[in-house]
Amino acid sequence: MAAERKSLSGRQFRAILKKDIVMELRTFEMLTSMGLYTLLTMVVYFVALAGAGQDFDVRKIAAGLIWLAFVFTSLLGLNRSLVHEHDQGVLDALLLSPIDRPVIFFAKAAGNFIFITIVEALSVPVFYFLFLQGKGFGGPLWMLPLSIVAASIGLSGIGTFLATMSVNSRGKDVLLAVLLIPLIYPLLLGAVSAASSSIVGGPHAFSEFWQAMGFIGGFDVIMLLASFGLYEFIVGA
């Protein structure tokens, strides 16, 4: 019986994930708006850095700039993914089926993780192209994607969790921002530190990187566990 439930959960997980991907591929709603948003953020960066002068080493703040873009872009994507269930009240149909509520959480979070990392994978080269041309990375290159992926796990997890609440509120997007940003402060600090170890480097890059990754990992685990445990209370509340 337990094995049956597990395989049913697997089927349900895959079905929800597949549905979200198919719907996105059909409309490209999320990816285009997120991609555009990131691009626009870069334009604003250009304006912000315009007065900094030629000698200013953008690499020092590059990690922060990149993550700033990721956070605000993900706010867009997170709400959209939950709106699909909220409109038409389809969520009720999901809740009526014999599905363990946390499976809905993991499937939605996995979908969001995929979309966010796609946008991130496209944004980093664009950022490099616009701001870091001719400058090498101070630290090992592989640290950057690794840290981004690790932090994105936490971001999509807690983001999906909060978006499940904010989609039911007045002022959906604003509420998500108000809830998410203070909550992910620890994750952000870790992610920016880790990314900096890669971009800026320095004598302690390795140890700082792994310490930061420790924090990212800790945040991911704690927040994912909390979301997993609390999800059934908020979905369909």
Partner 1 sequence: MARNKTTIATLALGGLLTTAAFLMAFLWAPMTDFGSVNIGGAEIARPDIAQKIFYFHVPVAEASFLVFFFVALYGALFLAKKDRVYDTKARIAAEVTLMFVILTMISGDLWTKASWDTWWVWEPRLTTYFIMTLLVVAYFVLRNSIEDEERRATYAAVFGIVAFLDAPLSFMITRWYRSIHPVVIGGASGSWLFGPRLVTFIVAQVGMLALGYAIYQLRMREELTKERIEAAKAALEG
Partner 2 sequence: MSEDGAYAAIQVRDLVRSFGTRKALDGVSFELPRGAFLSIFGPNGAGKTTLVKVLTTLIAPSKGSAEVAGCDVVADAVQLRDKIGLISHNPLLYPDLNAQENLEFFAEMYGLEHPKERIDELLTAVELDHRRLDLVRTFSRGMLQRLSIARALLHHPDVLFLDEPYSGLDPHAMDILDSLIAQVRSEHTFVMISHDLDKGLELCSHALILARGRVVLFEPRSEIDEAVFAATYRTTVGTGVA
The site for partner 2 (CB under 8 A) is made up of 8, 11-12, 14-15, 19, 22-23, 26-27, 84, 87-90, 92-100, 236
Interface stretch with partner 1, choices 30-38, 86-94, 116-124, 207-215 (CB under 8 A): 207-215
Q: Does 204 bind partner 1 (CB under 8 A)?
A: yes
**Residue in 77, 139, 157, 190 binding partner 1, rule: CB under 8 A:** 190
Is the torsion defined by CA of 109, 110, 114, 117 positive or negative? Answer: positive
| Other Cβ atoms closer than 10 A to 206 | 14
Task: Give CA 15 to chain center in angstroms.
Answer: 21
Q: Does 156 bind partner 1 (CB under 8 A)?
A: no
**Residue in 179, 194, 213, 224 binding partner 1, rule: CB under 8 A:** 179
Site size for partner 1, by CB under 8 A? 34
**Residue in 49, 94, 114, 234 binding partner 1, rule: CB under 8 A:** 234
In the complex, least distance from residue 167 CB atom to partner 1, rounded to whole angstroms: 11
CB nearer to partner 2: give 24 or 220: 24
| Other Cβ atoms closer than 10 A to 155 | 30
DSSP assignment of 38-64 equals HHHHHHHHHHHHGGG-TT--THHHHHH
H/E segment holding residue 130: helix 101-131
Say which entry of partner 2, partner 1, none residue 27 contacts (CB below 5 to 8 A, set by partner kind).
partner 2
The encoded tokens of residue 187 equal: 């994750």
| Other Cβ atoms closer than 10 A to 153 | 22
**Residue in 151, 193, 194, 209 binding partner 1, rule: CB under 8 A:** 193
CB 187 within 8 A of CB 216: yes
